[in-house]
Structure 1
Amino acid sequence: MPDPSLAPDTDRCLLVPWASALDAAAQQALNAARLPRLTELLARLAVVRSLGSDEWSFTPPHERALADAMGLTGDDGALPWAALDSDRPDEPQAWFHPVHFQVGMDQVALQPATWLDDTRSRQLFDALAPLCHEDGVQLAFTSAHRWRARGERLGQLSCASLDRVWGRSVAPWQPRGPQAPWLRRLQSEAQMLFYTHPANDALAAAGLAPVNGFWADAAGAVTGRPRATAPRASDDLRPAALQGDWSAWVQAWERLDATELAGLLERTRRGESVRLILCGERRAIELAPRPRHWLTGWTRHFRRAEHPAHLLASL
């Protein structure tokens, strides 16, 4: 059962996905970052809980922490985000993301088709929808970059989050569960279908990579009654982290330090209770104010503030 201390408070609780990354270049860049507010916050806060274990879970720590804060349940790779974002949360659903599979000498890497516009996306969607319908899955167009799938099959899947596979080899992230063979077959059929589709001819003419498949995630149905609102989450670090642009990532960290974290710090200075959830690739930690003691203020004055890079590297 979720800890009630994580009940959403948009002014006093902040969740930070991609606060750390395992790439050695990310750690090196973080060591040089200027994060004075985070440094002071870490001196004032203590770790009260840790979630996650390693970088191979299908559900990344920031998704697990967000779900836990909302009271949303689901096994690894089966947090039902698609169903939650619908008018029928009790119905099994998933997100289908159009992607480009880049075939290399020793691996197949995935790139979400962020360059896809509504027109080309809908053309590919219209081609795939009948195949899904034949298998009892209904496909609905929601945006150029993700489509909603509905059907009982989607309640028997464990799928790696798109954030896990972005820019990486797909080999370790293949779907699991009773319906995994069906999903892999549908993905193969989609690759053949898209290969000769006129939408990809138009993309090629524009100098853009073809869309040669889709990736499924967020599968399942909602059970129980999760909270209606989510804690405030900052998406500022995600784009640069997924692109491996660690210079831009550190700049985003410094902006976050000067804005969102400055607000949290001011609240702690006023004696208010705040929550900070920092999420890396292996785990997420929740930080809350240290227990009050008559010596707290005096000792804090002499406590040496440590750069946060060491703590973030452990996530």
Structure 2
Amino acid sequence: MHLLIPHACALAEACHHTLSDLDLPVLSQLLARMAVVERSEGDEYSYSPPHERALAAALGLAGPDGGVPWAAYWAQRDGIAPGDLAWGLLTPAHWHVGTDQVSMLDPQALQLDAAQSREILEAVHFLFESEGWALAYGAPTRWYAAHESLADLPTASPDRVIGRNVDAWMPDHPQARLVRRLQNEVQMLLYTHEVNDRRAERGLLPVNSFWLSGCGLAQPAAEPPDLVVDERLRAGLLTGDWAAWADAWRELERGPLADALAAQHRGERVRLTLCGERHAVSLETDTRGWWARWTSRRSRQAPVALLQSL
């Protein structure tokens, strides 16, 4: 069993305060019989967050920072044959215009259904096709673009951009100028589009832009049958709802972490990957003799300290 947990901690002081007050007995028991086997170091400014780096490693995908070809990977899972084209993931989004910056809200907050998503994609497709880009629909919050210029374009994960200034995450790359122009053109077209009028009548956010990420050529990927990626911490952390984030940790304790502990008690090898805002750490069941386990246990960090180090 390999349990991968994204958004296990953030650098925000409120996150560390919440974590300090959180009781995690199941995680404590699980870590007591585990040893660190791998640590992925990074910083909070990388385009690829730690959980994406860890997942890419588990799947056998490779690429530089912001260059793992997630679009081609997800396109295949959505039934689209990537061929030898370079693909990019287009995430429909709501950009909030503030007094001093433009920020992107979580695309999940749009509550897009397939019919509306297809209608919006149909409305904007000519803007992309006029530049030689081919578009394809994958899911309500997953559109795809194919063009040779996307082969080596580094881009930031949407999880890096949500709630933050979008300008700070635009790549310093010649091709990014075209992307920004397309974003502006999409904003102007959708500003008065009837689909957003209907959404406003239902109290839903308008779809007024997109984010491009995961660019590159398709790579063969291995699908580990024992890999479980649990993203229930995501929403609370990205919105700064620390009460909800703490509740999600308690759900993890009752669910996947309890399952991992039970597997460990059955003598099965368990791998746990915890991902924060900068780093990811992977631990595995320590199968060494009791003396080696006891001596190494004295130098291990407590669960809260380990999470806050990420």
User: TM-score normalized by structure 1?
Assistant: 0.88
Query: 1:253 Cα shift?
Result: 0.8
Report matched runs for 1:243-262 at 5 Å: 243-262=239-258
Q: Which stretch of the first structure deviates more once superposed, 162-171 or 58-67? A: 162-171
Shift of 1:50: 1.0
Structure 2 residue 231 is matched with structure 1 residue 242: no
The separation in 1 between residues aligned to 2:47 and 2:301, in whole angstroms, is 32
Give the Cα separation in 2 of the matches to 1:308 and 1:127.
49
Runs (4+) of structure 1 exceeding 4 A deviation are: 296-300, 302-307
Query: Following the alignment from structure 1 to structure 2, what is the Cα–Cα distance between the partners of residues 45 and 54?
Result: 25
1:20 paired to 2:9:
yes
Deviation at 1:162, TM superposition (A): 0.7
Q: For 1:127-158, what per-residue CA distance to the aligned partner results, in whole angstroms no more than 9, with x for missing partners?
A: 21111111111111222222111221221311
Q: d(CA) in 2 for partners of 1:94 and 1:299?
A: 49
Instruction: Give the superposition deviation at 1:303.
Output: 6.2
8 Å Cα contact 1:40-1:305 kept in structure 2: no
Give the whole-Å Cα distance in 2 for the aligned partners of 1:119 and 1:294.
Answer: 59
Aligned to 1:97: 91
Q: Does 1:38 align with 2:27?
A: yes
Q: Find the residue that maps to 1:19 and give its secondary structure.
A: coil
Alpha-carbon distance between aligned partners in 2 of 1:116 and 1:267, rounded to the nearest angstrom: 38
CA positional deviation for 1:91: 2.2
Q: Partners in 1 of 2:202 and 2:110 — Cα distance?
A: 14
Question: 1:58–1:161: 8 Å Cα contact kept in structure 2?
Answer: yes
Q: 2 CA distance for matches of 1:100 and 1:148?
A: 18
- Preserved contact between residue 39 and residue 306 of structure 1 (Cα < 8 Å): no
1:312 aligns with 2:301: no
User: Contact 2:33 / 2:293 at 8 angstroms: preserved in 1?
Assistant: no
Q: 1:90, 1:263 → 2: CA distance?
A: 41
**Distance of 2:205 and 2:221 partners within structure 1:** 39
1:168 is aligned to 2:164: yes
User: For 2:63, which of 66, 70, 74 is the aligned residue?
Assistant: 74
Distance 2:290 2:238 in 1: 45
Deviations 1:195-215 (A, max 9, x none): 121112222222333221111
CA deviations over 1:5-58 (Å, ceiling 9, x no partner): xxxxxxx11111111122221211111222111112222112121113101100
Q: What are the Cα deviations for residues 245-275 of structure 1, in whole angstroms up to 9, with x where unaligned?
A: 1111111111111221122222333433221
Change (3 A) 1:128 1:58: same
SS at match of 2:187: helix
Q: Which runs of 5+ in 1 are unaligned?
A: 1-11
Distance of 2:300 and 2:217 partners within structure 1: 45
Instruction: Specify whether residues 97 and 298 from structure 1 end up closer, same or farther in structure 2 by C-alpha distance, changes over 3 A only.
Output: closer
In structure 2, the residue corresponding to 1:277 is in which secondary structure? strand
Structure 2 CA distance for aligned equivalents of residues 306 and 71 of structure 1: 29
| CA–CA distance in structure 1, aligned partners of residues 299 and 293 of structure 2 | 13
- Compared CA separation, residues 271 and 147, structure 1 to 2 (3 A): same
2:190 corresponds to 1:201:
no
| 1:46 and 1:288 in contact (8 A); partners too | yes
Are the aligned partners of 1:156 and 1:177 in contact in 2 as well (CA < 8 Å)? no
The more displaced of 202-211 and 159-168 is 202-211
Deviation at 1:296, TM superposition (A): 4.8
1:176 positional shift: 4.0
Matched to 1:25, the amino acid is A
Is the contact made by 1:157 and 1:179 (CA closer than 8 Å) also made in structure 2? yes
Could you list the per-position Cα deviations for residues 49-108 of structure 1 after superposition, in whole angstroms to 9, with x for gaps in the alignment? Answer: 111310110011000001011110111111111201322264211111111111111111
Gap change, CA 1:287 and 1:204, over 3 Å in 2: same
Number of the residue aligned with 2:265: 269
Classify the secondary structure of the residue corresponding to 2:155.
Answer: coil
Partner Cα distance (2:250, 2:299) in 1:
21
Q: Distance in 2 between matches of 1:50 and 1:156?
A: 26
CA displacement at 1:297 relative to structure 2? 6.7
**Matched AA of 2:70:** W
User: Counterparts in 2 of 1:204-223, with a 5 A limit?
Assistant: 204-223=200-219
Distance in 2 of aligned mates of 1:297 and 1:285:
19
Larger CA deviation: 75-84 vs 171-180: 171-180
Q: Distance in 2 between matches of 1:170 and 1:61?
A: 20
User: 1:243 and 1:64 mapped to 2: Cα distance?
Assistant: 22
